[in-house]
């Protein structure tokens, strides 16, 4: 058997444990990963077991491993994930794993960056760019010619129509629908169940049907 790659999941919350299951599903089809456990900066849970995997240490633990290891960051909050990834990127021993559930339907005309997580039941069509450290949760659809920038988070059951651009660190809430040709600006959050029928500006929270900004971030 080919040598398995040593993998750690950063973040031991609910989504982190779902990613562990995703890794198990990948390995059931084609053994790739030797999942060593979770990384979390909460010292009170280090050394404990979560869904059968050890919380082995914090980010400094990862940076001090004297060999090449693979890491995937399962922190849903986009800006927090970006901070953690930027810190870990300082380690010459760290490589970022892209993990895609075996059930995902995806054409060959899609580019996907390092560290991205794509969960079960998602459909990704054609001529799409997906950046690095993106999270696409369960049961999403991504339409033709979309551009999904680094650190975007799509929560479950988001439908993104064609020719949409989601800027860096955008978060799209569960069940949101985005119609064709719209842009969601950098670091904006679209609340669950919203319907985006016009562009969403940078650094705001937008909710409702149609989605409208209700708060702007400083």
Catalytically active residues are 144
108/110 Cα distance (integer angstroms): 6
What phi and psi values does residue 191 have, to the nearest 5 degrees? -70, 160
36/57 Cα distance (integer angstroms): 11
């Amino acid at each position: 058997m080919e040598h398995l790659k040593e993998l750690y999941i950063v973040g031991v919350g609910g989504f982190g444990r779902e990613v562990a299951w995703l890794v198990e599903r990948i390995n059931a089809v084609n053994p790739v990963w030797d999942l060593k456990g979770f990384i979390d900066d909460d010292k009170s849970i280090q050394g404990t077991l979560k869904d059968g995997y050890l919380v082995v240490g914090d980010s400094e633990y990862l940076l001090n491993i004297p060999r090449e290891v693979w890491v995937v960051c399962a922190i849903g909050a986009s800006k927090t994930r970006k901070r953690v990834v930027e810190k870990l990127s300082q380690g010459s021993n760290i490589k970022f794993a892209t993990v895609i559930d075996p059930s995902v339907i995806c054409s060959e005309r899609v580019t996907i960056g390092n560290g991205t997580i794509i969960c079960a039941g998602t459909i990704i069509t054609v001529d799409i760019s997906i950046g690095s450290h993106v999270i696409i949760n369960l049961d999403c659809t991504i339409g033709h010619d979309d551009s999904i920038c680094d650190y975007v988070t799509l929560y479950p059951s988001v439908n993104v129509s064609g020719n949409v651009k989601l800027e860096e660190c955008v978060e799209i809430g569960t069940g949101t629908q985005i119609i064709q040709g719209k842009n969601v600006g950098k670091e904006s959050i679209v609340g669950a169940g919203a319907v985006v029928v016009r562009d969403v500006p940078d650094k705001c929270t937008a909710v409702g049907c149609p989605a409208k900004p209700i708060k702007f971030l400083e």
